[in-house]
Amino acid sequence: MPPATQVVHRPMYPVLERLTREELKALQLRRLNRQLERLWSTNRFYQRIWREAGLEPGPLKSLEDFRRYPVIAKEDVLADQLEHPPYGERLGVDIRDVFEITLSSGTSGKTQEIHAHTVRDAHMRALHGTAFRWAGMGPDETLVFHVGISNSASHGPFHRGIRAIGKLPYLVGHLGFEKRLELMQRLGMDHMYVMPSALNGLTQLCEKQGHAPRELFPQLKTIMLSGEGWPVEFIERMEEAWGARIFEGYGASQTYGGYIMSTCEHGAVTDGRRNGLHWYEWAAYLEVVDPDTLEPVGPGEAGELIVTHLEKEASPLVRFRMRDRVVYRPWTDCSCGRQLDMIEAGTVGRWDDMVKIKGENVFPLEVDEIIFSRDAIAEYQARVYIGDKGRDVAEIRLGIPEGVAGAEELVEDLRNELKQRTNVTFDLRVVSPDELPSYTTPDAKPRRWTDERQQNLKTGGAS
Ligand SMILES: [Zn+2]
């Protein structure tokens, strides 16, 4: 077991974190009304959209009342940027007040949102340290930062956040895994911030070199993850391998450029069960809604995350659709005492990643979880194509080493569970793990799914 199993409560904002649900809602309503009033008088982008929706300026009476305001999407932001380059009218402040920017993923101005930050926006620095503080980072402790620095959410806000509560975040995200391990051994570290796939790659490299990570880095206390989903078994295996506890945060270019929610001191997983990421509800108003009806979802249900900044000056977002698929969990699901609502840890995915197979909505992340809960399976590749009978075929090649006992039963059992959870019968094949790609290179997100159906339709059949 990891060493620090005792849970230490380290609040970041002792007063805000002790507010009752009613007090929090009242605070949100006050801040939301202040923000809306400001935008009604200064922001042409929102003035236009809200007038088109038939709204008039004036304070909201309740948070429920806010649902009259229209949601906006990436397309609205991009159209505004194209028409009023480079920031769009959504910028809402003097261009000379732009202190820092973050760009969303994408490759050009036609696909990449640009989010500007004023000095005040950029220096909500303590906010982005909350996750690390809750995880237990102390003022004299160092962190190794495994995410490459670019104009994405990985730069300014995170570094200011970490420095607000700890010290010396040093950078390795630009290096290959060998160099990272070398530097980590030279400098040491108390905490680590890394994507799940990179953590997996680092672990494999240590083991290939004949060392258990926990022996190489005995001083490591915590690992902070974000950016990708994970199966519960992965967390348990990694906590054991590194002798450290694992936490998770959620952030994006659209969330002040840093974290807007994170796990508390209870970490990512307790006793085989996923914990939740508490929302920083004093800084943002968050909703989880059904992507078709825009109605709020219930506890334990999946929906789309909608983000509203309560504080932001430049490029504010009001009811912005993140396209992230999250599972809503009420605050009562956590025993830490914070009355901050949550999403489930480790299951953030993209609505755009959804694959429709035989009329069923299948999420690759869910299939990952089902497959990787079986230790014998090292890797897999899924392929969806149109079969001889003109129907969808979903094939999964499972990398299982030769000589694994009970492989046949394992495959049968897996087929049943996949059918039960996704409503799709998968065509499962066992192959040698060597035949499948392995994702151990830095920053390479696993690409396990291919959809050949469009191609099949063009060429008239499966290749
Ligand atoms: Zn909690």
Residue 378: other Cβ atoms inside 10 A: 15
Extract the tokens encoding 166.
């700890």
Domain-by-domain residue ranges, the chain? 1-351, 354-459
**Burial status of residue 335 (CB atoms within 10 A of its CB: 0-12, 13-18, 19 or more):** exposed
Could you give phi then psi for residue 116, rounded to 5 degrees? -95, 155
How far does residue 137's CA lie from ligand 1's centre (Å)?
16
Confidence category of residue 223, pLDDT binned at 50, 70, 90? very high
Q: To 10 degrees, the CA torsion angle through 55, 58, 62, 67?
A: 20
DSSP string, 137-162: --TT-EEEE-SPPSSSTTSHHHHHHH
The reported pLDDT for the residue numbered 298 is 98
Q: Using the predicted structure, report yes or no on whether residue 445 has a pLDDT greater than 70.
A: no
Overall average pLDDT of the 175-191 stretch: 95
How far does residue 267's CA lie from ligand 1's centre (Å)?
9
How far does residue 172's CA lie from ligand 1's centre (Å)?
30
More confident residue, 154 or 209: 209
Overall average pLDDT of the 114-118 stretch: 96
Overall average pLDDT of the 256-272 stretch: 96
C-alpha 247/C-alpha 222 separation (Å) is: 7
**pLDDT tens track for 279-329:** 999 999 999 999 999 999 999 999 999 999 999 999 999 999 999 999 999
Q: Using the predicted structure, report yes or no on whether residue 444 has a pLDDT greater than 60.
A: no
Q: Using the predicted structure, report yes or no on whether residue 193 has a pLDDT greater than 90.
A: yes
Overall average pLDDT of the 178-204 stretch: 93
The reported pLDDT for the residue numbered 8 is 84
* DSSP run (H or E) holding 238: helix 232-242
Q: Are 342 and 278 in contact (CB under 8 A)?
A: yes
Overall average pLDDT of the 366-378 stretch: 89
How far does residue 6's CA lie from ligand 1's centre (Å)?
14
More confident residue, 172 or 351: 172
Confidence category of residue 5, pLDDT binned at 50, 70, 90? low
C-alpha 231/C-alpha 247 separation (Å) is: 14
How far does residue 47's CA lie from ligand 1's centre (Å)?
38
Could you give phi then psi for residue 267, rounded to 5 degrees? 80, -170
Strands 342-344 and 320-329: antiparallel
Please give the mean pLDDT across all residues of the chain.
91
Residue 70 neighbours by CB under 8 Å, 6+ apart? 49, 50, 53, 319
How far does residue 89's CA lie from ligand 1's centre (Å)?
38
How far does residue 129's CA lie from ligand 1's centre (Å)?
16
Residue 167, SS3 per DSSP: strand
Confidence category of residue 250, pLDDT binned at 50, 70, 90? very high
The reported pLDDT for the residue numbered 398 is 96
How far does residue 201's CA lie from ligand 1's centre (Å)?
29
The reported pLDDT for the residue numbered 240 is 97
Confidence category of residue 354, pLDDT binned at 50, 70, 90? confident
C-alpha 115/C-alpha 94 separation (Å) is: 14
Of the candidate ranges 188-192, 246-250, 256-260, 354-358, the one whose mean pLDDT is the lowest: 354-358
Class (C level, CATH) for 1-351? alpha beta
How far does residue 67's CA lie from ligand 1's centre (Å)?
27
Overall average pLDDT of the 73-97 stretch: 96
CA distances from 359 to 11, 25, 167, 304 (A): 46, 40, 51, 20
How far does residue 134's CA lie from ligand 1's centre (Å)?
9
Q: Using the predicted structure, report yes or no on whether residue 456 has a pLDDT greater than 90.
A: no
Residues whose beta carbons lie less than 5 angstroms from ion ligand 1: 264, 334, 336
C-alpha 268/C-alpha 273 separation (Å) is: 9
The reported pLDDT for the residue numbered 140 is 94
Q: Using the predicted structure, report yes or no on whether residue 76 has a pLDDT greater than 50.
A: yes
Confidence category of residue 446, pLDDT binned at 50, 70, 90? confident
* Bridge partner list, 172: none
Q: Using the predicted structure, report yes or no on whether residue 49 has a pLDDT greater than 90.
A: yes
How far does residue 265's CA lie from ligand 1's centre (Å)?
7
Residue 174 neighbours by CB under 8 Å, 6+ apart? 148, 149
The reported pLDDT for the residue numbered 329 is 98
Q: Are 419 and 360 in contact (CB under 8 A)?
A: no
Confidence category of residue 387, pLDDT binned at 50, 70, 90? confident
Considering the entire predicted model, what is its pTM? 0.84
Residue 65 DSSP class: G
Residue 367, SS3 per DSSP: helix
Overall average pLDDT of the 126-130 stretch: 91
Overall average pLDDT of the 205-213 stretch: 93
C-alpha 116/C-alpha 98 separation (Å) is: 6
Show the beta-strand stretches assigned E in 233-362: 245-251, 259-262, 269-270, 273-274, 276-279, 284-289, 302-309, 320-329, 342-344, 349-350, 355-357, 360-362
Q: Using the predicted structure, report yes or no on whether residue 1 has a pLDDT greater than 50.
A: no
The reported pLDDT for the residue numbered 16 is 95
How far does residue 164's CA lie from ligand 1's centre (Å)?
21
How far does residue 364's CA lie from ligand 1's centre (Å)?
28
How far does residue 21's CA lie from ligand 1's centre (Å)?
14
How far does residue 341's CA lie from ligand 1's centre (Å)?
9
Please report, as a single letter, which amino acid is at residue 15.
V
Overall average pLDDT of the 113-132 stretch: 91
How far does residue 153's CA lie from ligand 1's centre (Å)?
24
Confidence category of residue 437, pLDDT binned at 50, 70, 90? confident
How far does residue 86's CA lie from ligand 1's centre (Å)?
40
Please report, as a single letter, which amino acid is at residue 23.
E
Q: Are 90 and 46 in contact (CB under 8 A)?
A: yes
User: 354-459 has which fold?
Assistant: GMP Synthetase; Chain A, domain 3 (3.30.300)
